[in-house]
Amino acid sequence: MIPVPTNTKVWLAAGVTDMRKGFNGLSAQTEKVLKAAPYCGHLFVFRGRRGDLIKVIWWDGQGACLFMGSEAGGKSAAIAYTLIETAKLNGVDPQAWLTDTLACIADHKINRIDELLPWRYAQT
């Protein structure tokens, strides 16, 4: 989790942004279009043409930050984080569980997939 100060504003750029731009290109667009200083500590959010990709620029006081993501990437990350936290809550080493599960899942019977869940892994 990246701590963002409570007085930070979030600016949403209306319209479509060329997602090939990096921090420098997006900060120039921030100055030109939004008439805002990209190094002021606020978050500036840009969206791609299809609307399924965003980029966020932020100056944290020490350096420039560029974040990007998509809805599909967010869903995949949420699934991965859920599996990892579920393993931890069941007293299972997430890396060991994922390694073992991925090694045997292809040959595992689909009607017995529940045997591979973290709370069942903890019992073996």
Long-range pairs for 46-50: beta carbons < 8 A, 24 or more residues apart: 46/13, 46/17, 46/19, 47/13, 47/16, 47/17, 48/16, 48/17, 48/19, 49/16, 49/19
Please give the model's pTM, rounded to 2 decimal places.
0.57
- Measured distance CA(99)–CA(80) in Å, rounded: 13
CA–CA distances in Å: residue 96 to residues 9, 52, 78, 106: 41, 34, 20, 17
pLDDT digits (tens, 9 = 90+) for 75-96: 777 788 788 889 999 999 989 9
Query: In the sheet that 64-70 helps form, which strands lie side by side, from edge to edge?
Result: 10-12, 43-47, 53-59, 64-70
Residues of the chain under the 50 pLDDT cut: none
HSE (side-chain half, CA atoms, 13 Å) at 57: 24
Contact assessment for residue 59 and residue 23, using Cβ atoms and an 8 Å cutoff: no
Structure confidence at residue 122 (pLDDT): 61
